[in-house]
Amino acid sequence: MTRRASRQQPRCPCGLQETYDNCCGRFLPTGESAAPTAEALMRSRYSAFVKLERDYLLRTWHPRTRPGSLDLDPGMRWTGLEILDTTDGSAFHSSGTVTFRASFKGGSLHERSRFERVDGAWVYVDGEFLG
């Protein structure tokens, strides 16, 4: 009897125990689905940084604070995302915050990000670095 190697789908970079296609891949890169919560948008934006999806990052940035361009470093190696706290940001809110720690090779980024709804879709407004 021969055994066929099963091909495992890669886990989502955002840290949830789902495959990428069933998790953040639903939102990236085309935006076929919109993230239903601020936390889901935060996770998908982290995945976008991992996958160098510049267009998705710009599209999910609030028009008021969106930069004209975004340079991503292909040498950056993101290694994990930890959601530390969320405030509001559900289907019943118009704004919310997500506090997280994003690890990369050589360090980490600790931030409280603010999100708002624009035309019904969650977008990233800005963030405060927390040391």
Q: What is the pLDDT of residues 18-43, one digit of tens each?
A: 999 999 999 998 777 899 999 999 99
C-alpha to C-alpha distance for 54 and 127, rounded to whole angstroms: 18
Return the beta strands (E) in 66-106 as ranges.
78-88, 95-104
* Rounded (5°) CA angle 19-125-30: 40
Q: Which of 67, 23, 66 is nearest to 48 (CA)?
A: 23
In 3D space, the residue among 56, 42, 51, 55 whose CA is nearest the CA of residue 78 turns out to be 51
Q: Which tokens belong to 123?
A: 């977008």
pLDDT tens across 111-125, in order?
999 999 999 999 999
What is the value of pTM for the model shown? 0.91
Contact criterion met (CB below 8 Å) for 79 and 104: yes
Local structure of 54: helix, strand or coil: helix
Whole-number pLDDT of residue 29: 80
